[in-house]
Amino acid sequence: MPRPETRPNPADTTQLQRSPVSLRRVLALFAPYRPQVGTVVALIVVSSVVALATPFLVRTVIDDAIPQQDVALLAWCVAAMVAVAATTALLGVVQTWLSTTVGQRVMHGLRTAVFSHLQRQSLGFFTRTRGGEVQSRLTNDIGSMQSVVTTTATSLASNATTVAGTAVAMAALSWRLSLLSLVVLPPAVWLTRKVALMRREVTAQRQARMADMQTQVEEGLSISGVQLGKTLGTGPAQSARFAATSQELVGLEVRSQLAGRWRMASMSIVFAGIPALIYLFAGLPATSGGMTIGTLVAFTALQGTLFRPLMGLLDVGGQLITSMALFSRVFEYLDLPVDIDDPARPRTLGAASGEVRLEHVGFSYDGDRPALADVDLVVPAGSTLALVGETGSGKSTLASLVSRLNDVTTGRVTIDGVDVRDLTLAELAQVVGVVSQETYLLHTTVRENLRYARPDATDVEIEDAARRAQVHDVLVALPDGYDTMVGSRGHRFSGGEKQRLAIARTLLRDPRVLVLDEATSALDNETERAVQAALDEVAKGRTTITIAHRLSTVRDADSIAVLSHGRVVEQGTHDELVAAGGRYAALAGSPTGAAAVPA
Ligand SMILES: Nc1ncnc2c1ncn2[C@@H]1O[C@H](COP(=O)(O)OP(=O)(O)OP(=O)(O)O)[C@@H](O)[C@H]1O
Ligand SMILES: [Mg+2]
């Protein structure tokens, strides 16, 4: 089996220091596969032991069969040699099949567990986590786990049994020569390992430098990079930096080539030197002890097979660290508490009318600076509340509390008198619909994108929703109509179209409470009218909380709440607020306030 060149990676070591993994927990993953794992270990042991027969067969051939011209014995020995080779090869195939199957099953379990666990995390987790990291852990870490883990485990098992078995067989063949091996092997192993480690070190440095050079080429010779360099006048500096990296590579390449050569050299010295020493020892009358030629040949062959497994065992430490670090990363995700979860004893709404109340609501993202403070609002069933206020005043935050994308820090949000935290997330999702500024469309057909909102919707229902959302005409005009693919490798919809698709989705779900975040981007008049008609349609008869960016929305709202620094500073209808001559009136009247109050 090829030994993977695993060097304990500093990142792996720090990962393990930060979140250590118990071996027991890793083993528990494999517990359901105990029979298979047991079989794999048995297969490894059996094939290592069977392989030991070969040197003894060689000895019999040389010492007995050939000198005595015993054809029958010779034939038996040769047949046995072939049988040994065939058996170990077959056992190896079965062992690989079993270990890969078990490994892949365990990985499958982990992958799905991590996926569903992460999906239950709140939005906060995804804003905190660096983009791409989640994906990398799920695909790369778990993906490489199987190979790393099975290689580590099987090479540990096979190397250990081979070393033990070979040592016993060597002692059985000749204890004198075994003593000699005990003296010469350790320094040989030490030397070879030293050279190998040195080579890995140089190789790692060389790879790092190559990566640097790659980055510099990408940065320095791309359109934007060249443009930046020219405008900042840093071209010559960049060239100098590139030259320095390239110069460094010259030295490293030479050292790397030499190290490779040294490795080969040390191996060949060891592989030629040890048998030579054995011959010397066996040939000297003082030490030979009357050894037969067959024993000598068999012993030399055996001790040659000892070297690689020994080196492999020395590598197991590094491999273990890599494997455990992989588990550590994955367990870290699995151990994350789910902060927004179903209640232990959920209540249900029954035939809800959809009155939304916020009672003394406070919220903070970081547990320190409040994003909302002491918000009291009542949105009677079927009415519309418009939220206005300058950027950063907490409008989106407030809206996120109703659908539990965030949970209140203090106070409570209720629907028909029931705290939203007492409802199951599934029921809440049924009752509260959200149309956000950013509409996310999946890479599938338009139809499936709409059906995502309600998997049992019929085609007729889907088209009806699209019609009411003013997007049906757009969709039938597409090359494949409702079956057009959407997304990066499909049709791209404009902002206004996307919004209407989102509205169609919401119409399919038919929620009693609606949270709307109107798009800020300006739309042309016609699109604007279509979107407005769609919004009016979707809001009809529902309790609606709108983050308003259009004057018409604000005017028509049953009530307007003006937010400032996370507090509701005014509330009333448009006419009331204008008449009151407060902040809303000032904002609506002054040109500088136009951004805070929709125009
Ligand atoms: N994920 C987050 N983590 C930390 N702070 C946040 C987060 N999201 C928003 N904030 C902060 O909370 C405050 C309220 O933000 P919010 O998005 O609710 O404002 P907004 O009224 O919707 O603004 P806009 O009109 O620009 O959309 C801001 O100070 C913002 O910086
Ligand atoms: Mg916002």
Ligand nearest to the Cα of 392, by number: 1
Q: Please give the residue that has the higher pLDDT: either 591 or 117.
A: 117
The pLDDT score that the predictor gives to residue 597 is 56
Cβ atoms of 570 and 582 closer than 8 Å = yes
The string of pLDDT tens digits covering residues 353-401 is 889 999 999 999 988 899 999 999 999 999 999 999 888 999 999 999 9
Q: What distance in angstroms lies between residue 204's CA and the mean position of ligand 1's atoms?
A: 44
> By mean pLDDT, which of 125-139, 174-188, 493-507, 583-597 is the weakest?
583-597
Residue 312 shares a structural domain with residue 425: no
Residue 410 shares a structural domain with residue 284: no
Domain total of the chain: 3
User: Residue 537: which residues within 8 A CB-CB, separation 6 or more?
Assistant: 468, 469, 470, 503, 507
Q: What distance in angstroms lies between residue 380's CA and the mean position of ligand 1's atoms?
A: 26
Residue 334 shares a structural domain with residue 237: no
The string of pLDDT tens digits covering residues 282-339 is 888 877 777 888 999 999 888 888 888 888 888 888 888 888 888 998 899 899 988 8
Please state, in angstroms and as integers, the Cα–Cα distance from residue 435 to each residue in 94, 302, 504, 534, following that order. Answer: 55, 73, 10, 12
Cβ atoms of 46 and 91 closer than 8 Å = yes
The string of pLDDT tens digits covering residues 61-112 is 999 999 999 999 999 999 999 999 999 999 999 999 999 899 889 989 988 9
Residue 76 shares a structural domain with residue 186: no
Pocket test for ligand 1, best of 396, 400, 567 (most atoms within 8 A of CB): 396
| Ligand 1, CB cutoff 6 Å, lining residues | 127, 365, 371, 389, 391-397
Pocket test for ligand 1, best of 395, 401, 516, 549 (most atoms within 8 A of CB): 395
- Would 495 be classed as within a structural domain? yes
Ligand nearest to the Cα of 388, by number: 1
The boundaries of the domain holding residue 282 are 176-290
Q: Which atom of ligand 1 is nearest to the CA of 398?
A: 18
What average pLDDT score do residues 470-479 get? 91
The string of pLDDT tens digits covering residues 250-282 is 999 999 899 889 888 888 888 888 889 888 888
Residue 81 shares a structural domain with residue 209: no
The string of pLDDT tens digits covering residues 409-426 is 999 999 999 999 999 999
Cβ atoms of 80 and 50 closer than 8 Å = no
Residue 536 shares a structural domain with residue 587: yes
Pocket test for ligand 1, best of 123, 365, 406, 407 (most atoms within 8 A of CB): 365
For helices 142-173 and 53-60, the axis angle rounded to 10 degrees is 30
Q: CA-CA distance, 120 to 469, in Å (whole number)?
A: 30
Q: What distance in angstroms lies between residue 549's CA and the mean position of ligand 2's atoms?
A: 10
Ligand 1 atom 16: residue of nearest CA:
394
Residue 163 shares a structural domain with residue 183: no
Q: Please say if the pLDDT value at position 343 is more than 50.
A: yes
Strands 370-379 and 356-364: antiparallel
Ligand 1 atom 31: residue of nearest CA:
392
- Would 297 be classed as within a structural domain? no
Q: Which atom of ligand 1 is nearest to the CA of 563?
A: 21
- Would 295 be classed as within a structural domain? no
Out of 234, 264, 290, a domain closes at: 290
Cβ atoms of 556 and 380 closer than 8 Å = no
The string of pLDDT tens digits covering residues 220-234 is 888 888 888 888 888
- Would 571 be classed as within a structural domain? yes
Handedness of CA 480, 483, 487, 488 (dihedral sign): negative
The pLDDT score that the predictor gives to residue 598 is 55
Cα 166 to the center of its chain, rounded Å:
42
What average pLDDT score do residues 9-13 get? 80
Ligand 1 atom 28: residue of nearest CA:
392
Q: Please say if the pLDDT value at position 497 is more than 60.
A: yes
Residue 396 shares a structural domain with residue 516: yes
Pocket test for ligand 1, best of 122, 393, 517, 569 (most atoms within 8 A of CB): 393
This prediction has a pTM of 0.72
Q: What distance in angstroms lies between residue 560's CA and the mean position of ligand 1's atoms?
A: 20
Half-sphere exposure of 11 (CA within 13 A, CB side): 2
Cα 429 to the center of its chain, rounded Å:
27
Residue 30 shares a structural domain with residue 91: yes
